[in-house]
Chains A and B, each alone.
Chain A
Amino acid sequence: MTVTRTGPLPTGPEAEYDVVVVGAGVVGCAIARALARHPLRVALVEAASDVGDGTSKANTAILHTGFDAAPGTLEARMVREGHRLLGAFASEAGIPVEPLGALLVAWDEQQRAALPRLAEKAERNGHLATRLLSADELRAREPHLGPGALAGLAVPGESVICPWTTTLAYATQAVRSGVDLHLDCRVEKVRTGDPWHRLVTRRGALRTRHLVNACGLHADAFDALLDRRDFTVTPRRGQLLVFDKFARDLVRHILLPVPGPLGKGVLVSPTVYGNVMLGPTAEDLDDKTATGTTAEGLAGLREQGGRIVPALLDEEVTAVYAGLRAATGQEDYRCTAHPALRYVTVGGIRSTGLSASLALAEHVLGLLADCGLDPGPERPLAPVRMPNLGEAFRRPYRDAELIARDPEFGMIVCHCERVTRGEIRAAYASEIPPAGPDGLRRRTRARGGRCQGHFCGAEVRALSESYGKGAR
């Protein structure tokens, strides 16, 4: 069990692996975790200083059922299976999930006409429980909906989830079960060979028999390191607005737009932290680092959100951010085994990767077997229980027993999000400690609330500095 962030990588037999997974997003972490069930030497290698630092940290955080996927695609199957697998894993690992269900809202005749077709598509995807709703039924379920909603389609099972805890839970379980995690370690070159591929990073080289590309937005660039040019990833930006927790009572379900010729539209959804999210935009870009928001993007979101739930706009905005989906111009994932190279590419994991992650991991195990990997017998994974960030479940500041055992869980430091000193200390003492304030926020929510550090920023920083010193 090793996590490294700085210094030279291990050398000799220490640096020889059966499988190296490149990219520690939600997909790469899930793959590493699946591999950890077998007696293999596995490394997870990531360019950023934390797991989940790419697209996996900036999405709409919905655990999809796959009801609207294109039937028969790999994506449809992966999301359907992934929904079941992640639902089960979440309750075991303490990842907050709220099965709120979704409502697709039709605002014009064209959208209303599309609803029965969507119900039929859901059925072909194995989702049999959808139900058409009249305008009155819709309003009874969502009293704050704006005027003009004509009809709806209820999709039970659609859930909100914490994407940060999910990725971290996979990585933590993988590391506890023996996977080496090398952060701040971009793979810059690959020398393919037999029996070893040699991976060159600035911190040294690793040797591996099998290789998995889970590089998200950069999956095409990584393929190119092995002379594969099967697809190009185009970043599709999604800007999002997160409203204050006071908005939470305005929305009961995940309010999805009806996809139509004018594009996909935006959604309004509660988050497990008790906020309401509005977005995302869909903008095709060239720059894979363009995670900034724009004035037009934010204004457009407010305009659309104001039509869906007008009262939303009276509430303060807590956060604005943008994520980049990995679009490839094809309406499916691009998962390929390259047996001659003992190499698997997991590409084009577009806007559903969080939901599909656990099923994708199983699928990749199959693709690795096609590449000649004999994983050996299965063994149980080391158990994980993650700190709870969800408002629907008990947080440490309300846990009398925990506070009695350790008074630091009764010392609230971040007041807006009610994060205690004990949680910050525990984050730094964990297997994969945060690398900076953003990592700490994703693990604890510290500094992530309505004041964005006005009250707590200085103290959170002082605590991070003192606890962080002992961190690896």
Chain B
Amino acid sequence: MNRVVDVLVVGAGPAGLAAAARLAAAGAGRVEVLERERAAGGVPRYCGHPGFGADRRGRPLDGPAYARLALRAALRSGAVVRTGVSATGWAGPLTLDVTAPTGLERIRAHAVVLATGARERPRSARLVPGTRPAGVLTTGELLRTAGTFEGERGVLRERIGRRAVVVGGEPVARHAVGALRAAGVEVAAVMTELPRTAQGFGAVPVLTRTSVVELLGRGRLTGVAVRGRDGRTSVLRCDTVVFTGDWIPDHELARARGLAPAPGTRGPVTDSAYRTAEPGVFAAGNLLRGVEPAQVAAAEGRAAAGSVLGLLAGRACPAAGVPVLTAGPLRWVTPGLLGPAPAVPLLVRPDRRLVRPLLTVTQDGSPLRRERLRGEQAPWRSVRLGPEWTSGVDPAGGPVIVGTEEYAP
């Protein structure tokens, strides 16, 4: 079946739903959101803890509540949200092939917003050696397992395990620990190669500067061999290991359209208007660079919607700007292309812990901005660099370089 819509949004997470809500409310015509999972909402659906802002009356929201509100907002403004529907590839420019229980479709749109999110690298992508036993998970699979089998008390522990090791020291590791304990699984240790972890692991032993060297066990995991800070290898007995963090954008559709992943983020390169190199195709949310808080992704979705409205109003222009690159201990920066307008903040991710760093932005050797950050910056949290200075970017100049000088007292 061939159909035409005004805007096709792929992915009904915070970014996709926020984009759809704004577009539909602004009268963009038929705005259709495709979601391959059985329900809309994206990652927050599986996060049963607060940290998702507050509702209108100021009550804190947990993930599922946030997801419900985001969906309701999109539906109220007139967007169509279809679940259990997968965009599987491109049939041509702005035209996607879709598989649904109702059959195959080929949907052409005036604009496409990719908001397909991110995933954690599994054990194999991290090249962790050893056997291939059962009991090796990512946080994503753990949380989804808890969600899928919730309500069947006791059986959840059967399905997960008795004793787990959590790999990674980022906040997401804390959620893994929380989910394991809620299911009645003992957490033997949290371990990370980093010198420090996020806070809040309670009584669980935290092993820093420690790496997994081998998974052990046939059939079922029996332990992980780890190398500690003293260089010695020991075995932690466990039947479950959860690999957390280490996000990579789920960029399949973007790449399938020839949008190469940026070296730092592994997401498609966009300009400050969320345009990709493919005319009419926009990208927003965690697809751009891995996980940020839901509200950051949603704000990007809304901003991308603004650009889509510009396109629909006939202000079509290709992605523009000079490349933005990082130097020094910074892992990535978005957007990947920067012009003098629109003015958007940069999101910069440290590669390691930085103490009172000085962020520097230069173009062709001349400084555009210097900003001293307070306190410590952790590698799992992005730094926001306000946009006031972006009007100084020379669109005909060389790349904009974001670097850092550490505080030396």
Chain A residues within CB distance 8 Å of chain B? 246, 289, 291-295, 297-298, 316-321, 397-398, 400, 403-404, 407-408, 410-412, 415-416, 418, 436-437, 450-455, 457-459, 461-462
Q: B214 contacts which of A289, A292, A408, A437 (Cβ < 8 Å)?
A: A292
Q: How far is the CA of A318 from the CA of B159 in the complex (A)?
A: 24
Q: How far is the CB of B20 from chain A (nearest CB, A)?
A: 20
Contacts of A297 in B (CB 8 A): 129
Contacts of A317 in B (CB 8 A): 124-125, 127
Q: How far is the CA of A455 from the CA of B37 in the complex (A)?
A: 9
Q: How far is the CA of A415 from the CA of B159 in the complex (A)?
A: 22
12 A-B Cβ contacts within 8 A? A292-B129, A292-B130, A293-B129, A294-B214, A316-B125, A317-B127, A397-B99, A410-B100, A412-B36, A415-B86, A451-B138, A459-B144
Contact status of A461 and B104, CB under 8 A, knowing A292-B131, A298-B129, A317-B127:
no
B residues 232-253 touching A (CB-CB < 8 Å): 248, 250, 252
Contacts of A407 in B (CB 8 A): 101-102
Give the interface size class of chain B.
35 or more
The answer to whether A454 and B129 have CB atoms under 8 Å apart is: no
| CB nearest to A410 among chain B residues | B101
Contacts of B132 in A (CB 8 A): 291, 321
B residues 96-142 touching A (CB-CB < 8 Å): 97, 99-104, 119-125, 127, 129-132, 134, 137-138, 140-141
Q: How far is the CB of B141 from chain A (nearest CB, A)?
A: 4
Q: A418 contacts which of B88, B124, B140 (Cβ < 8 Å)?
A: B88
Asked if B255 is at the interface of the complex by the 8 Å CB criterion, the answer is: yes
The answer to whether A454 and B148 have CB atoms under 8 Å apart is: no
Q: A454 contacts which of B97, B140, B149, B213 (Cβ < 8 Å)?
A: B140
Contacts of B125 in A (CB 8 A): 316-318, 450, 452
The answer to whether B122 and A459 have CB atoms under 8 Å apart is: no
Q: B104 contacts which of A294, A400, A436 (Cβ < 8 Å)?
A: A400
Q: How far is the CB of A96 from chain B (nearest CB, A)?
A: 19
Asked if B362 is at the interface of the complex by the 8 Å CB criterion, the answer is: no
Q: How far is the CA of A127 from the CA of B210 in the complex (A)?
A: 54
Asked if B145 is at the interface of the complex by the 8 Å CB criterion, the answer is: yes
The answer to whether A295 and B123 have CB atoms under 8 Å apart is: no
Contacts of B250 in A (CB 8 A): 451
Contact status of A410 and B255, CB under 8 A, knowing A289-B218, A458-B147:
no
Closest 4 A/B residue pairs (Cβ): A452-B122, A458-B144, A407-B101, A454-B140
Q: How far is the CA of A320 from the CA of B130 in the complex (A)?
A: 9
Q: How far is the CB of B254 from chain A (nearest CB, A)?
A: 11
The interface centre, meaning the residue of A289, A407, A411, A416 with most chain B CB atoms within 10 A of its CB, is A411
Q: How far is the CA of A411 from the CA of B82 in the complex (A)?
A: 13
Asked if B84 is at the interface of the complex by the 8 Å CB criterion, the answer is: yes
The answer to whether B101 and A403 have CB atoms under 8 Å apart is: yes
Q: How far is the CB of A241 from chain B (nearest CB, A)?
A: 8
Q: How far is the CB of B154 from chain A (nearest CB, A)?
A: 15
Q: How far is the CA of A249 from the CA of B209 in the complex (A)?
A: 38
Contacts of B148 in A (CB 8 A): 458-459, 461-462
The answer to whether B124 and A319 have CB atoms under 8 Å apart is: yes
Q: How far is the CA of A59 from the CA of B86 in the complex (A)?
A: 32
Contacts of B100 in A (CB 8 A): 410
Q: Beta-carbon contacts of B252-284 to A below 8 Å, as 1s and 0s?
A: 100100000000000000000000000000000
Contact status of A410 and B121, CB under 8 A, knowing A293-B130, A294-B129:
no
Contact status of A397 and B141, CB under 8 A, knowing A408-B101, A410-B99, A451-B119:
no
Q: How far is the CB of A411 from chain B (nearest CB, A)?
A: 5
Q: How far is the CA of A294 from the CA of B339 in the complex (A)?
A: 47
Contacts of A400 in B (CB 8 A): 103-104
Contacts of B120 in A (CB 8 A): 454
Q: How far is the CB of B317 from chain A (nearest CB, A)?
A: 29
Contacts of B159 in A (CB 8 A): 461
Q: How far is the CB of A191 from chain B (nearest CB, A)?
A: 30
Q: A295 contacts which of B129, B138, B218, B255 (Cβ < 8 Å)?
A: B129
Q: Beta-carbon contacts of B77-101 to A below 8 Å, as 1s and 0s?
A: 0000000101010000000010111
